[in-house]
Amino acid sequence: MKELRCLIVDDEPLAIDVVVNYLQRLDITPITQCDNGIDAFRYLQQQTFDLLFLDIEMPQLTGFDLLKSLPHRPLVVITTAWRDFAVESFEWEVIDYLVKPFSFPRFLQAMEKAIRTLQHPVPPPSPSIGETNFLFLKSDRQYVKVEFTSILYIESLKDYIRVVTKNDSLLCHQSLTDITAKLPPDQFIRIHRSYTIALAKIDQVRQHCAHIGGKLIPISRACRQEVYRRLNQ
């Protein structure tokens, strides 16, 4: 079909073979494969890929842990034996979610979607984040203006988030991924699957926890290196 740089990450060799076979049917190259998230992280630091086929349940580093560790990532297709992770996967804006065993026609649908997205990328929003210092959040049937400098941290609560500011706490129906994308990346960082924090509001970091306004917030293992790098800038 075309040159498409693909990375397959799965701890099941037979599952890798299926994806490789399907890609070869479409004459897609080059194909890189590995059986664990740690090696995948190294590959993604060293090379550029267009498409990532990612299993979720893997030892040492799960698929979600890998996604959280990547500030920039290729298009992602989840390949898993479990249906339960679909909602969380799409919060990460994956292109498709394939439940094993998936057929070649179903795989082809995912590939068509990925190629269409690569050919017609979504333009960046305008105005950019840097042009504003606030956002409006819908909470309790009203829109509330929240300045970035007032936010301490944001906590994910399944289908909702809690935005904690200096003087208030707002419950909003949206995902942590979506609101994090709307925040200035130089001021905020996601440190856990359930938390995004304001770097300037950290009082101290001790025992892999950020202390903010009397709250102890865990820093996940996958995020620690990036958090400590940002603190040392």
Residues 21-35 pLDDT 10s: 999 999 998 999 999
pLDDT, average across residues 163-190: 91
* pLDDT of the residue at 59: 86
pLDDT, average across residues 80-107: 89
pLDDT, average across residues 89-105: 89
Sheet holding 51-54, edge to edge: 29-34, 3-9, 51-54, 75-80, 96-99
* pLDDT of the residue at 127: 45
* pLDDT of the residue at 56: 94
The full DSSP string for 110-168 is HHHHHHHHHHSPPPPPSS-GGG-SEEEEEETTEEEEEEGGGEEEEEEETTEEEEEESS-
* pLDDT of the residue at 74: 92
* pLDDT of the residue at 88: 79
- CATH classification code of 3-119: 3.40.50.2300
How far apart (Å, rounded) are the C-alpha atoms in residues 203 and 123?
Answer: 37
pLDDT, average across residues 172-182: 90
* pLDDT of the residue at 126: 43
* 78: Cβ contacts below 8 Å, ≥ 6 apart: 54, 55, 56, 63, 85, 89, 94, 96, 97, 98
* pLDDT of the residue at 124: 46
* pLDDT of the residue at 125: 47
* pLDDT of the residue at 2: 57
pLDDT, average across residues 176-188: 90
Nearest residue to 156 via CA among 22, 230, 34, 64: 64
pLDDT, average across residues 143-169: 92
* CATH topology for the 129-231 domain: OB fold (Dihydrolipoamide Acetyltransferase, E2P) (2.40.50)
- The domain segmentation of the chain, as residue ranges, is 3-119, 129-231
pLDDT in tens, 107-143: 999 999 998 888 876 554 444 445 578 988 888 878 8
Instruction: For the beta carbon of residue 183, count every other beta carbon within 10 angstroms.
Output: 18
How far apart (Å, rounded) are the C-alpha atoms in residues 97 and 110?
Answer: 8
Q: How many helices and strands, by DSSP H and E, does the chain display?
A: 7, 15
pTM: 0.55
* pLDDT of the residue at 18: 97
* pLDDT of the residue at 129: 47
Q: What does the chain come to in residues?
A: 233
% of the chain with per-residue pLDDT over 70: 94
